Amino acid sequence: MQKFKTNVKCGNCKSAVTPHLEKLGVSSWEVDLSHPDRILTIHDDISSEKIISALKEAGYNADQLTS
């Protein structure tokens, strides 16, 4: 599981990101819109670089969080 701080702010933003993540093969993910850092959690084993790139392609920022 990987977590990212994002600027995904609403349901429409999630809809915009969805096709970009699906193109990578991400099938299990969520964004905590109630968290101030809009934490994106990815449950699939996809490289963080690809996730960050896909969000950037969709027009959003993502920074991987370390535990």
What total of structural domains would you count in the chain? 1
CATH number assigned to the domain comprising residue 16: 3.30.70.100
pTM: 0.92
- What is the domain range of residue 53? 2-65
Nearest to 18 by CA among 37, 40, 34: 40
Residues 3-57 pLDDT 10s = 999 999 999 999 999 999 999 999 999 999 999 999 999 999 999 999 999 999 9
